[in-house]
Structure formats: structure tokens, C-alpha cells
Amino acid sequence: MKNNLKFAVIGGGSWATAIVKMLCVNLDEVCWYMRNQSAIDHIKSYKHNPNYLSSVEFDTNKLVLTNDINQAVEYADYIIFAIPSAFLNSELKNLTVDLKEKVIFSAIKGIVPETFLIVGEHFHKQYTIPYKNIGVITGPCHAEEVALERLSYLTIASGDKEKAKVMAKALEGNYIKTKISDDIIGTEYAAMLKNIYAIAAGIAHGLGYGDNFQSVIMSNAIREMKKFIRKVHKMKRNINNSAYLGDLLVTGYSVFSRNRMFGNMIGKGYTVKSAMMEMSMVAEGYYAVKSAYKLNQEYKAKTPIIDAVYEILYEGKDARSTFKKLTEKLD
């Protein structure tokens, strides 16, 4: 990797914090943008993000901290966006610096609600960034386990293999293994869809279904994901690879999964609003299910799990009766 390339991370949450931690292992300096000035001040004084993954200690000599997104974009050659998809559009409205000469990597697991586009497509169509300058960072990988320095795997997808290698080299380490993929669109859709299926798994758990049914949900989910992605972007891919099946499994089963936790609360009878307030963090799958459902009105893939989650979250249908009907559609 060329030592003169500069990297910036946009976002102040757990995934952004984990990415900054990974980059700091291999780079002399990383620019980190977050809106919260008090969090920046805390990191400067105490070397920890006060709100997310507070066990991670940073060498602040390696950090260029800013709450000005334009400063971060201007600073960097490679920019990693790691903020919830629901807030991406409003964040980009503050941008006055041109993105066209930048290499953009998305670590966002969702669809931009204003455009119904995955993040890579959003940057391509709204900011005319060529696909060769767009990439995706996906799992299977939980930020919490990066903080604990447990062995984790990342998939780096880009239309430009050399740019994917640069990003992979910047992120890899003793406990981080990286793999290159050319399936930008498929891996990004998979990262979005797995959050919906994790909500479904959580709802099932909250309703009292056991491990046997959980396995049925997951096996049906990967086949449903395959049908959906094939409709959106047909190319040769192995849906059983870690970027697809592995990411689905870790999000569907892990105790760290916000989407599973959110679904579990819905299954136990919480309203959407009360579940979100209780969690005090964003479950990307909530926003993703609406976008995926609307998109599928065009693509018409057979998606009974997505349909069931949408009916519960957006149409107010009873979770127990909806899942009882869903059990008749699964095999």
C-alpha cells in the first residue's frame, strides 16, 4: 500500500469506531469525522469514544478529529462512510467539497430511503462517481468483536481490484482477515437484506419459537436473498460465501446483533417506537425492510419473510398471526 494515501472515516457509531481502530494499526494517520463535538473532545482527553465501543483505546496522535465533513473529505483520498443509511442523505447535504476524485467505500448496511438506492448506487447516480471509485466493506463481522480483537473476516468489494487491495491492506491485521470481491452490488444488497432476516429471527425468538424454527428461517432466508439479488443484479456468485451466508448467520444469531435484538422486542410485544427508544441505537433493518419491500414491487421476487416483517413493522399487523401464516410458506 502506498504510504502517501490518506483515509477518512465518516461516522461516530460502533462500526465507524471499529474501522478507525483497524486503520490505526496500519496507518500513521486517520481522519475521523463525527458530528458530536463533545465526543471528539472526550476522545482527545480520554482516548475513548464515550458512546460506542468505549473499551477501545486510541493513540490520539494518529487521529485527525473533526466535526466538519468538508474537512474530512478534502483531507482524504479514500473515504469510508459508516453512518446509518437513513441519515446519509441529510449528512451529504452539508458537503461542498467535490467527491468525484475520491475513492468511496461504503460500510453502510442499508438503502438510502430518499432514493431507494444502495449506497454505492446512490453515490454513482447522485454524485456521478464512477463505479471504479466505489467499493463496499462488508462482513461477516461485528464491531463489538473487533473491539475485543477476536478473529474476524471482512469482504472488500470493488469494480477496481487494485483499489479493493488498497482497502484490504489498510484494514487487515492479526485478528482481521480480508477477502476481495468484484460483486459490489450483490454484497451491498446482501448486507442490507441480512438485517431484515435478523429482525425476522428476533421476532421468532420473541414469540417463543425455538432453535428448530430459527434454522428454518435462516435456510429460507439465504434462498430468498439469492432470488432477490439475482433479480436486482444477475451475475455469477456463490451465495454460500461468507459475504452472503456468513454475514446472514452472524447477524441472525449473534447476541451483538441490533437487528435481532430489535426483532426480539417486537416479538415480545413492544411497539416499533418503544423498541427503538429502549435500544437507543439504530436497527438498520427497520429502514431496509420498507425499501426492500417497495423495490420488490418492481422486481417481484418471491420474498415471504421480507413481506411478513414489512406487514408487522409498517402495517401494524399482529406478529403472532403473521408468523403463523409465514410458517405455512416456509420449507
**Residue 161 one-letter amino acid:** K
| 186-327: CATH topology | N-(1-d-carboxylethyl)-l-norvaline Dehydrogenase; domain 2 (1.10.1040)
Question: Residue 282's pLDDT is what?
Answer: 75
Q: Which strand (E) or helix (H) includes residue 44?
A: helix 37-46
Question: Residue 3's pLDDT is what?
Answer: 59
Annotated catalytic residue within 102, 109, 194, 226: 194
Pick the closest to residue 146 from 232, 217, 52 (CA basis).
52
Question: Residue 1's pLDDT is what?
Answer: 47
Entry pTM? 0.91
Q: Which residues of the chain have pLDDT under 50?
A: 1-2
Q: Which strand (E) or helix (H) includes residue 118?
A: strand 117-118
Burial of 195 (0-12, 13-18, 19+ CB in 10 A): buried
**Beta bridge partners of residue 275, listed in sequence order:** none
Burial of 93 (0-12, 13-18, 19+ CB in 10 A): exposed
Residues in the chain: 331
pLDDT digits (tens, 9 = 90+) for 125-173: 999 999 999 999 999 999 999 999 999 999 999 989 999 999 999 999 9
Query: Do the domains 7-182 and 186-327 sit in the same CATH topology, yes or no?
Result: no
Domain range list for the chain: 7-182, 186-327
* 324 included as an active-site residue: no
173 CB-near residues (< 8 Å, 6+ apart): 22, 25, 26
| 7-182: CATH topology | Rossmann fold (3.40.50)
